[in-house]
């Protein structure tokens, strides 16, 4: 691809962020990190990104709340957003989709699948 895909990872767990960072940077992605939805919103207000990967359960502003706010604005209405979920049931998928997620990554994730999921949605 012509330029590096930029990814923002949002997770309150530092080890999960480190794992994502490790898996993604090793594949050449440019990764930024935020520790909850509020921090992510602040960061996104000032920075450009190609894909957002967010955890759902977080303090302050959770993943669905973050997506809702991003979709409500113009800049990120069509931004690919993947949610990290621990379950892959149809019910969870439907909920993620109706909350505005582009797709999901089931934790614990396989690095290859993570990268595949990002490439599947990266415009």
Partner 1 sequence: MTPEEIQGIFFVECEESLAAAEQGLAQCKAGTQEADTINAIFRAVHSIKGGAGAFGYEALQAFTHVFETLLSDVRENLVPLTPTLIDLLLRALDVLADHVTAARESGTAPEDAALLRELEGAMANAVGQACAAAPTAPEPIASPPFDDEDELTSDFDLDMMLNDLAAAPPIDEAMAAEAPDGWQVHLRPHAGAMRNGGEPILLLRELVALGAECRECDISAVPSLDDFDPHQGYLGWTYIVPDDVSESAVRDIFDFVGDDCPIAMGPGATIPPTQIDKPKAAPVIAAAPLAAVAPSPVAKPVAAPAVAVPAAPSVEAAAEPAVQASNPAPGSAPPAAPAPGQSIRIDLIKLDKLIDTVGELVIAQAMLAQRLQTEGIQSNEELTLLEGLTRDIQESAMSIRAQPIGSVFSRVPRILRELASSTGKHVNLQLVGETTELDKTVIERLGEPLTHLIRNAVDHGIEKPEDRLAAGKSAEGTLTLAAEHRSGRILIRIADDGAGINRARVLAKAVEKGLVAPDAQLSKEDIDNLIFAPGFSTAATITNVSGRGVGMDVVRQNVKDLGGRITIESEEGKGTTFTLTLPLTLAISDGMIVKVGDQTLVIPLTHVVESLRPDPKDVQGLGANRQMLNVRGRFIPVVSVGDAVGAHDAINMPHEGVLIVVDTESAGQAALLVDNIWDQRQFVIKSLDTHYRNVDGVAGATILGDGRVALILNVDTLVASAVARGMGLEAA
Residues at the site binding partner 1, with contacts judged by CB under 8 A: 1-2, 5, 12-16, 18-19, 21-22, 35, 38-39, 56-62, 64-65, 68, 71, 78-81, 86-88, 90, 93-95, 97-104, 106-110, 112-113, 116-117, 119-123
**Rounded to 5 degrees, what are φ and ψ at 49?**
-150, 155
Start-end of H helices in 7-89: 14-25, 37-46, 63-72
* Cβ at position 56, least distance to partner 1 in Å: 7
Closer of 22 and 73 to partner 1 (Cβ): 22
Closer of 46 and 108 to partner 1 (Cβ): 108
Q: Give the span between the Cα atoms of 62 and 10, in whole angstroms.
A: 10
- Show Cβ contacts of residue 21 under 8 Å, excluding neighbours closer than 6 positions: 9, 31, 33
Closer of 22 and 47 to partner 1 (Cβ): 22
* Cβ at position 8, least distance to partner 1 in Å: 13
Q: Give the span between the Cα atoms of 23 and 27, in whole angstroms.
A: 7
């Amino acid at each position: 691809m012509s330029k590096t895909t930029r990814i923002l990872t949002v997770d309150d767990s530092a080890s999960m962020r480190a794992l994502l960072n490790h898996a993604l940077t090793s594949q050449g992605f440019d990764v930024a990190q935020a520790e909850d939805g509020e921090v992510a919103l602040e960061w996104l207000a000032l920075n450009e990104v190609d894909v957002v990967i967010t955890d759902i359960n977080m303090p302050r502003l959770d993943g669905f709340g973050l997506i809702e706010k991003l979709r409500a604005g113009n800049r990120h209405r069509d931004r690919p957003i993947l949610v990290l979920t621990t379950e892959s049931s149809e019910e969870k998928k439907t909920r993620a989709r109706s909350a505005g997620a582009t797709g999901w990554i089931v934790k614990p994730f396989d690095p290859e699948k993570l990268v595949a999921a990002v490439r599947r949605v990266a415009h």
